[in-house]
Structure 1
Amino acid sequence: MLLGMTTDPRSPRRAPAGAAVLREDVTDAIRAAVFDELAAVGFARMSIEGIARRAGVGKTAVYRRWKSKLSLVLDLVSAFAAQGLPAPATGSLYGDVRALLEVAAHALRHPVASQVIPDLLVEAARNPEIADAIKAALLDGQRGVAALIVRDAVARGELAESADPDRALDVIVGPLYWRLVVVRGDLPDGYLDEVARGAVAALRA
């Protein structure tokens, strides 16, 4: 629903009195430029000037929305965290684990994410604000999904009630993260199936 629309679609929308209207298309262009800039030069070398140039806007357009490159990156990371991962509901522990691996692999193999995430993790070691935002984006959301997988598996009798969601997250996503983000290797055919089977065996042990 668009606020301020009139009955005549040809009539221009009026800006709220005393308020600056921030065009959504410009905001979206800036956000896309941030990801591209992070992938190209990293957080340390990223600048508002570079973001504005890549987005095709003036620096003022960026500063009207965010006070600094740190607040801009934190906003994007927080928005990503709010989206969360879909909780699989395949009806079996193996199916849920395999589905989670598929989604995580798709996200980690994205050309921008594969460059941005490692760089932000390096910056997180130096900046507590970035560390907290990254924790929310990369850990808290996935921890919630792992908890749901464990809960459903316990309800079906596939796992003991003592099963630990945090351990589940380690054994499910850990090998995938190591392979794609740290080693930066390809995923051979059947790799996700092998990891899923290994994770299920580990959780049941």
Structure 2
Amino acid sequence: MTTPSGTPRRTPAGAAVLREDVTEAIRTAVLEELAAVGFARMSIEGIARRAGVGKTAVYRRWKSKLSLVLDLVGAFAVQGLPAPATGSLHGDVRALLEVAAHALRHPVASQVIPDLLVESVRNPEIADTLKAALLDPQQGVVAQVVRSAAERGELPAGADADRALDLVIGPLYWRLVVVRTEPPKGYLDDLARSAVAALTA
């Protein structure tokens, strides 16, 4: 960066320069630590040790393990679920299931989110973050799918988007995150047909 006179602007004395590779190492360590010991037993010391850095490197970026984990969840959610627009309810549901299946195989979803859901019962801040970062965006995408289907006459006006979310994503979440078994071949196709049949019944 330069000043208006064209001379290089120096970093203020004492200003911390946060190396991105260290930040990424810490984020990776958080995922591994959460998967290994869970949120309740996780500590800044354990994260720092796993990342190969000092505790000050962690505290320079996040004030607590809670703020670190919430930042991680938020960063994961930024990837988001795009609203499909295939031109049919079945096509949209099938496309949504494909993207959701990929997202639910991510370490944050399969290892971290279930643990945080348990913690959210005791910690309103975690509950609020999970809702804003994960549930609200998913509801928004499914609501758009339902609205588009209603405009095409495939669903009645005012169809329940929350019910649609339960029918479409619920079984997939149960299979990949709770039961943790890989779906058989053709599972997403079968689930899409079943969800559409239930929605249009």
Please report the TM-score for the alignment, with normalisation by the length of structure 1: 0.88
- Distance in 2, matches of 1:171 and 1:5, equals 56
Q: Does 2:52 align with 1:56? A: yes
The letter of the residue matching 2:80 is: G
- Structure 2 counterpart of 1:166: 162
Q: Does 2:94 align with 1:98? A: yes
- Structure 2 counterpart of 1:46: 42
SS in 2 for 1:157: coil
- Distance in 1, matches of 2:177 and 2:77, equals 18
Which residue of 153, 167, 170 maps to 2:149? 153
| Structure 1: gaps of 5 or more residues | 7-11
Kindly provide the CA deviation profile for residues 79-117 of structure 1, in whole angstroms up to 9, marking residues without a partner as x.
223332111111211111011111111121234531212
- Distance in 2, matches of 1:14 and 1:144, equals 45
| Structure 2: gaps of 5 or more residues | none
Q: Does 2:178 align with 1:182? A: yes
- Structure 2 counterpart of 1:108: 104
Change in 2 beyond 3 A, CA 1:183/1:5: farther
Kindly provide the CA deviation profile for residues 49-93 of structure 1, in whole angstroms up to 9, marking residues without a partner as x.
111112121110100111110111111112223332111111211
Change in 2 beyond 3 A, CA 1:164/1:94: same
CA contact (8 A) 1:105 1:176 kept: yes
The letter of the residue matching 1:144 is: G
- Structure 2 counterpart of 1:137: 133
CA contact (8 A) 2:31 2:107 kept: no
The letter of the residue matching 1:151 is: R
> CA shift at 1:162, angstroms?
1.8
The letter of the residue matching 2:29 is: A
> CA shift at 1:167, angstroms?
1.1
- Distance in 2, matches of 1:155 and 1:195, equals 23
Aligned residues: 197
> CA shift at 1:23, angstroms?
1.8
CA contact (8 A) 1:36 1:112 kept: no
Please report the TM-score for the alignment, with normalisation by the length of structure 2: 0.90
Q: Does 2:198 align with 1:202? A: yes
CA contact (8 A) 2:39 2:115 kept: yes
Which residue of 108, 112, 115 maps to 1:119? 115
- Distance in 2, matches of 1:166 and 1:53, equals 43
> CA shift at 1:14, angstroms?
3.7
CA contact (8 A) 1:39 1:115 kept: yes
Q: Does 2:176 align with 1:191? A: no
The letter of the residue matching 1:106 is: H
SS in 2 for 1:169: helix
CA contact (8 A) 2:109 2:177 kept: no
- Distance in 2, matches of 1:156 and 1:22, equals 51
- Structure 1 counterpart of 2:22: 26
- Distance in 1, matches of 2:10 and 2:42, equals 36
